[in-house]
Amino acid sequence: MSEKQETQLSRKLSPINVWSLALGCIIGWGAFVMPGNTFLGQAGPLGTAIAMALSALIMAIISFNYHYMINLFPVAGGDFTYARQAFGGKHAFVCSWFLGLSYLTIVPLNATALALIGRNLLNNIFQIGFHYTVAGYDVYLGEILLALFALVLFAVLSIRGVEFTGIFQTGLVLVLVGGIVLVSIAALVSGKASAQNLSPAFPTGGSRLAGILAVVAVAPWAFVGFGTIPQAAEEFNFSPRKTRFIMILSILFGALVYVVLNTVTAAVVPEGYSGWEDYIAAAGKLDGLLSLPTFHAAYELLGGFGLVAIGLAVTGAILSGIIGFYMATSRLLYSMSKERVLPAWFGQLHGKYSTPANAILFVLVISVVAPFFGRTAIGWIVDMSSIGAAIGYGYTSAAALRFARKEKKTGIMVTGALGLLMSVVFVVLLLVPIPALHCSLGRESYICLAIWILLGLLFYLRSQRRS
């Protein structure tokens, strides 16, 4: 680092950069595979569309609370800052401990998703060198090196400056959007996509409401990206008043992408199958592209060009997610350091680029461990990310409610109460096993959650003794 030590983050993010940050974090690998392995099987084409519309509405309500709090406290830290201002240090620590896990785990998850592109679109090109198995997942040296390269590269880019990062993020999101638009247009004009294939609208033999709620339950994870906007509030080069439109636009666009990919997947059915339901039921046991219904749909619609288009789209989604969550996690850690919840080391800015370089390096060090454990083990931890996001939503909504009552802002009092209620519902759906919904955490994720809570308790008690 330079001998000169900057004390403030640089205000270099434009509205389009911030929108790209949010959308790039909303849309990831999951948006391209969940139609085949989750959404259609649980809710069907119409059920998923309804669920995403409900999820977008809930997130839009919560976004009003974020917009209100951003304008009250336009600094880095987002949910942590709001919880601290409204309820004090203990609540802020609980909020940030869970939210930090939600953000941090998605960085290595996206990095390891690059290997899945190699496995499914590039003929296993990275499956080289020694390999071993963790929780039933084969881990290859080539795939580990690919993930490590991506993690190091984007850590360096994130340190080099928020302006460059914002521009690069915008470019990746444009690639993401462009690929999806091409596939969507092809579905509208191609005879291989048929509206008749969208029948039945809901899975047969199950509860429609249960299916819709099962998809809604993943909304905190599916839309967690819009919550990254307040983390970068100290780096806006525009008025925080514009964040309402940016957040709403990112949420609506994200919901549209989920619905479009899900609908296209259902509308394109391979020969030999009677409909999407028959195909989806068999897809998990198939090999090659047939095992990835969304990618197979792109191939059927546009041939090899379709695979290139959707491959570029998913690559843009993965890389933009890595950049976005590097930014969000490091700003959260930076804010916690400024408030002396974390050591001062996390709050040091790069002398030349004015970025929280130490916090970014910390995220890198934690993330490079994950590729050695495979996607299955990482998935157990990432499953908890919805819990962390829901807790962040709840604290922000509760803080907005508290400050709005003081200022007698009726509208925010209503959205604050609704946001808090919805956050509690999300936590209940995720933590309480409800057999009919199939949306609660798995056993391994419960164990990981218990360990994370214990670590948080020990960390907090230790920090209290030092203060």
Write the DSSP string, 43-99.
HHHHHHHHHHHHHHHHHHHHHHHHHHHHHH--STTTHHHHHHHHH-HHHHHHHHHHH
Q: Which residues pair with 196 in a beta bridge?
A: none
Tokens 């636009």 found at: 249
What is the C-alpha separation between 104 and 346, in angstroms, rounded?
15
Q: What is the pLDDT of residue 128?
A: 92
Which residue type, as a one-letter code, is found at position 241?
Answer: R
Tokens of 457: 């308790």
Tokens 């709001």 found at: 82
Q: Which domains does the chain have, with CATH numbers?
A: 15-460 (1.20.1740.10)
3-state secondary structure of 436: coil
Q: What is the pLDDT of residue 347?
A: 87
3-state secondary structure of 139: strand
For each of the chain's 467 residues, which pLDDT tens digit applies? 443 445 677 788 889 999 998 999 899 888 898 998 889 999 999 999 999 999 999 999 999 999 999 999 988 888 999 999 999 988 998 998 888 888 888 898 899 999 888 888 888 889 999 889 987 888 999 999 999 999 999 999 999 877 777 888 899 999 999 999 999 999 999 888 888 899 999 999 888 998 998 899 888 888 988 888 888 888 888 898 999 999 999 999 999 999 999 999 999 998 888 889 999 989 888 877 888 899 999 999 999 999 999 999 999 999 999 998 999 899 998 888 888 888 888 888 888 888 899 999 999 998 998 899 888 777 777 677 788 889 999 999 999 999 999 999 999 999 999 999 999 998 888 888 777 666 677 788 888 888 888 888 887 777 666 55
C-alpha distance across the termini of the chain, in Å: 29
Which residue type, as a one-letter code, is found at position 106?
Answer: I
Q: Note if the pTM is more than 0.75.
A: yes
Q: What is the pLDDT of residue 2?
A: 40
Which whole-number Å values give the CA distances from 366 to 215, 235, 363, 424, in the listed order?
Answer: 30, 25, 5, 30
What is the C-alpha separation between 398 and 392, in angstroms, rounded?
10
Q: Which residues contact 280 (CB under 8 A, 6 or more apart)?
A: 36, 40, 41, 293
